[in-house]
Amino acid sequence: MAFVGLQSVGATTTECSPGKWALTFDDGPHPSISLEILSLLRKNNAKATFFVVGKNVADNPGILRQIYEDGHEIGVHTWNHLDLTSLNTNQIRKEIGSTVDVIYQTVGVRPTLARPPFGNTNELVRGIMKEFGLEGITWNVDSNDWRYAQEYHDSYEAGKFTEEELFSHLKDKDPSTTGVISLQHDVHEASVYITGEVIRGIRTKGFSLTTVKQCISGPNNSYTVPPAPTATTSSSLNSTVTIGNANETAISGTVTNTSSYTDLVTDSETVTNSNATLTPPSKYPPRV
């Protein structure tokens, strides 16, 4: 059965319990689209789950902090958005572990949810997610916002979307028997328009909008505070990792592993190591 409870760390969940609908956003944070999505969710008094890409967090730490401060849920979507089933054990650990680390360094908590890119998973991937205390989350409804973005090249107009297109994934969804985890993206302009319309459609159908953890287990235990296993488990490495771009405040935090962000980024990304010790941000209290 696709619906499983929170105790199934390392397992993969695809749907909510009946009557609940969890909006999930992949691939951000994006410097502008994510903020538009956050504004939209705020106006609609809705919470969502954001599965973030580690290198995008590194480039846009302030956006992740805003997601957290707004009370949304944060999950892991790996560092480089690679198909984990094509990687070896060490590569998978780095992709997941470094993303866990950068989230912790940015908002002071460790996520308990992960979504493998493209929804692709296997026994090895699930086992490594379990090492990090992560429950795998996929989806049972695709909003197809990515398709609309490709078709319209992010130059969307309300008139270009028919009601059938916008609500095709709502058709035949009965809240008395069905629970939904839907896939959206916070990297396409088209997603902003689609999401606003879909929220109204979801509520009209009688579904309750929730975060993923709320829809599968009830309590909002989306994060842990004690250090989870990191990309490589070894003695503490005292180094400063400055991650971001010229428009973002550098991230500071304590890293207790020997994984290097340099191993995971492209030549166009900036990662600097120096000799200071990092401490996790104290601004954010644990949310468990």
- Catalytic residue set: 26, 185
Joined tokens for residue 52: 């973030």
- Alpha-carbon gap, residue 41 to 273, rounded angstroms: 37
Only one residue has tokens 């409870």, namely: 5
Only one residue has tokens 């984990």, namely: 84
User: What's the Cα-to-Cα distance from 91 to each of 150, 227, 235, 271, rounded to whole Å?
Assistant: 30, 20, 20, 19
Give 123: exposed, middle or buried? Use CB within 10 Å, 0-12, 13-18, 19+.
Answer: exposed
- Alpha-carbon gap, residue 266 to 181, rounded angstroms: 32
- Alpha-carbon gap, residue 60 to 44, rounded angstroms: 24
- Alpha-carbon gap, residue 216 to 138, rounded angstroms: 13
